[in-house]
Structure 1
Amino acid sequence: MANATPRTRSARRSDGGRPSVLDDYKPYLDDRWNEGFINAWKLWKEIVPLGYKGSFQRVRAYRQKKRTSPRPMIAPPP
């Protein structure tokens, strides 16, 4: 399991949008995603004890967005 903790909430997101209740937990979710852990329900259950007060649906929507975004291409070694 990743040993990440949520970062301090900022007034504005780096992309200029409004802050989301999920913003503080996105680095943790991204780390878990990169480890291959993509079950939204289980991810939600992991961040609730860390202090997340938002809905499961918000976590599911974030995970869905990650699933549909293109992943970087990595060339195979020669």
Structure 2
Amino acid sequence: MAKKIEDLPKLTLVIPIKQPSDKPKNKQYRTFTPTCGMCGRDAEYEVYDTLQPHCERHMLEAMDSKIKPFVRPLGGFDDAS
């Protein structure tokens, strides 16, 4: 970091270069698998009004609370057709 204006020409310009990845380039589609917000396992249910993804264990834990949350299987019908 330059402390004086005279030090600015002495600084070296650094340009970060992203290294090419070793992943195959022929994969056209990227699959998205929602994970549980509590433990990171694959989610199976949407819980609460905000539709948080949860696994079965954490969905049952939420159902044991005094206030029963909204629960539905993942991948509901949100389209208007």
Above 0.5 in TM-score? no
Give the structure-2-normalised TM-score.
Answer: 0.24
Give the structure-1-normalised TM-score.
Answer: 0.25
Larger radius of gyration: 2
More RCO (CA 8 Å, sep 6+): 1
Higher strand share: 2
Higher helix share: 1
